[in-house]
Chains A and B, each alone.
Chain A
Amino acid sequence: MSRQPMNPIVRRRQITNAIALVLATGATLFGLLWLVWILWTTVTQGASALSPALFTQMTPPPGEEGGLLNAFYGSAVMILLAIVVGTPIGILAGTYLSEFGKTSVLAETIRFINDILLSAPSIVVGLFIYELVVTTTGHFSGYAGGLALGMILLPVVVRTTDEALRLIPNQLREAGLALGLPQWKVVGYVIYRSASTGIATGVLLGVARISGETAPLLFTALNNQYWSTDLSAPMANVPVVIFQYAMSPYDSWHALAWAGAFVVTAFVLALSIAVRLFLRPRSFK
């Protein structure tokens, strides 16, 4: 096989190398296999349950036909509420970290805590908002659901804003200050504009994340079988409907759950892919 007799040690090292690299390739294929399997199931099961009624009718009682209109509406409203609450606070906090706090102990502590919030169990966020809002107001509500989602969105926005602002070269700030602009104008008119792609990436990835979050909504927004636009009442939402319908014994509910799962997954993946492809901030690096 080889042209000259090979040193047995070299040979063994090369065989080990080949085995290890084949295993690594196998591990990658193994990882991708699950993605394909899960997506395949969601698409085949979900597509067969898709129908116009899904977007025009309310969630049905067991055994009847229906759709998920109230759930889609509720999810959209609560996600909007989360964006309205989470984005401004997140951008401001990120601005503090990058423009004022920098590497001070306080700023590093907040970064540290923020990163932990980023990975903290979302069910704990649900419990916290339950204690904070539901116990004090006395009932489940769309507001509580939106706040819980906002609290999950917040650390994502803080982190990406901080990182995006720190990528902006210092000359831009110096140029603004040299013109005699106060710092808040430099940040507001110059820095935010340069970093807008990065900040938008953070917000959109955060939205993708909260769109499928179920655990924090279980005991904040609860669920609502009927059409309701009242944010101070329990509100229907897609993830909790999927959870309840999938755990039920009824086939028609299972089909609706798959349809909902398909729509949510398609939305989340489309958003994630679009953000990664079009918005990745790579300038200034």
Chain B
Amino acid sequence: MSSATITSEQGAPATPERTGQPAAATGDRLFRLLTGGAAWLVLILLLGAAGSMAWGGREAFQTFGWSFITSKDWDAVGHQFGALVPIYGTIVSSVIAMIVAVPISFGIATFLAEVAPRWMRGPIGMAIELLAAVPSIIYGMWGLFVFAPFMSEHVEPWVTEHWATLPVIGVLFDGPPIGIGMLTAGIILGIMTIPFISSVMRDVFQAIPPALRESAFALGATPWEVVCKVTLPHTRSAVMGAIFLGLGRALGETMAVTFVLGNAHDFSLSLLMPGNSIAAAIANEFTEADSPIYHSALIALGFLLFVVTFIVLAIAKFMLLRIERKGR
């Protein structure tokens, strides 16, 4: 982020007038056309993706209308498709992911800003970023073979025993400790989003004007007070942007959750029961979809996912842009 804050005034000077040099002018015009065309292609790709999915999903949207979102019947044989279960699963697993990732990422950013000695910041920051480089399918496999058994043996029995009796929220934790389900998927999603959130937070924490921090220290503030009362208020919108960025990632993540969600289309409030998510449903069922309406329903799901992640990522971008402007 910080490298992008080079001001625009330093950009290239405007194309100078080149009267009397037809060859050079033609070359420049061609070059401009070529690069401009490539830039437009980025816009066209996004519109094309949205358009093609709206088109592919039109049959499902027309047939089922609003019940596509509100109904929980997902019956491939009877051609009835309501996506409430995957939509619910996407939202719940992403919420769990944020509950895991946000405090941890804030801790990491605080550690890198106030605790770690200077020589340690680079290597630790890089190690956390490597978490983001690990392909998501590796998270999925690790989740299925290592983490799900760990959850079912050590964590879920404890959770059921201690939390299932709580009023109101108890129902969330009442279920068989099979390891596969929303809770496991949400935690894995959380681990995956930690590097995205924490690296942005670290960058904005480091970009705050040193004078602000130094004056707070000079007044006798402790490092924690500096983070809470100076750094955080100053970078509030960027921190929210980082969280939304992570949320956007979590909503659309496919492979990591496909392994551990269990691909169930039965609605269950319990976080320990197998569930589904939009991305996982598409990944699991798309090549098996045997009727046009089934296909269309899955593409319509993709369209919903695309629209929701677009909105979330756009909010993230706006919030991050605000602090960039402030820094200029």
Contact = CB atoms under 8 A, between A and B. Distances in A.
Interface string B16-35: 10100101110110111011
A132 B110 CA distance: 45
Contacts of B25: 182
A54 B193 CA distance: 32
Nearest to B15: A183
Q: How large is the interface on B (under 10, 10 to 19, 20 to 34, 35 or more residues)?
A: 35 or more
A124 B107 contact: no
B135 A211 contact: yes
A149 interface: no
A211 B127 CA distance: 19
A110 B222 contact: no
Interface stretch (B66-74, B81-89, B164-172, B304-312): B304-312
Contacts of B104: 27, 30-31
A272 interface: yes
Interface string B95-108: 00000000111111
A158 B4 CA distance: 13
Contacts of B131: 31, 34-35
Q: How large is the interface on A (under 10, 10 to 19, 20 to 34, 35 or more residues)?
A: 35 or more
Contacts of A4: none
Contacts of B286: 127, 130, 218-219
Contact of B32 (A100, A123, A170): A100
A173 B14 CA distance: 11
A113 interface: yes
B252 A123 contact: yes
B306 A120 contact: yes
Contacts of B305: 121, 123-124
A264 interface: yes
Given A17-B225, A27-B107, A102-B11, A120 B43 contact: no
B6 A167 contact: yes
A285 B222 CA distance: 32
A100 B33 CA distance: 10
Contacts of A173: 12-13
B30 A268 contact: no
B31 A184 contact: yes
Contact of A128 (B3, B53, B191): B53
B107 A183 contact: no
B49 A99 contact: no
Interface stretch (B137-145, B176-184, B232-240, B264-272): B137-145
Interface of B is mostly: helix
Interface stretch (A60-68, A76-84, A89-97, A224-232): A89-97
Interface in A23-61: 23-28, 30-32, 34-35, 37-39, 41-42, 45
A225 B314 CA distance: 41
Interface string A221-261: 01000000000000000010011001100000010011001
Contacts of A92: 34-35, 37-39
Nearest to A113: B46
A182 B111 contact: no
Contact of B114 (A24, A34, A120): A24
Contacts of B282: 123, 127
B48 A128 contact: yes
A219 B299 CA distance: 12
A116 B13 CA distance: 28
Interface in B240-292: 245, 248-249, 251-255, 258-259, 279, 282-283, 286-287
A155 interface: yes
30 contacts: A13-B222, A17-B223, A17-B225, A20-B224, A20-B227, A24-B108, A28-B111, A30-B104, A30-B107, A31-B104, A31-B195, A88-B38, A92-B37, A96-B39, A98-B11, A100-B15, A113-B43, A123-B283, A124-B309, A128-B53, A132-B48, A166-B11, A170-B10, A170-B11, A170-B13, A214-B254, A242-B137, A272-B133, A273-B126, A276-B126
Given A27-B106, A45-B145, A98-B11, 8 more contacts: A24-B111, A31-B195, A38-B142, A42-B142, A122-B252, A124-B53, A177-B13, A183-B12
Interface of B: 3-4, 6, 8, 10-13, 15-16, 18, 21, 23-25, 27-28, 30-32, 34-43, 45-46, 48-49, 52-53, 55-56, 103-108, 110-112, 114-116, 124, 126-131, 133-142, 144-146, 191, 194-195, 198, 222-225, 227, 245, 248-249, 251-255, 258-259, 279, 282-283, 286-287, 299, 302, 305-306, 309-310, 313-314, 317
Interface of A: 13-14, 16-17, 20-21, 23-28, 30-32, 34-35, 37-39, 41-42, 45, 88-90, 92-93, 95-103, 106-107, 109-110, 112-117, 119-125, 127-128, 130-132, 151, 154-155, 158, 163, 166-167, 169-170, 173-174, 177, 181-185, 187, 208-209, 211-215, 218-219, 222, 239, 242-243, 246-247, 254, 257-258, 261, 264-265, 268-269, 272-273, 276, 285
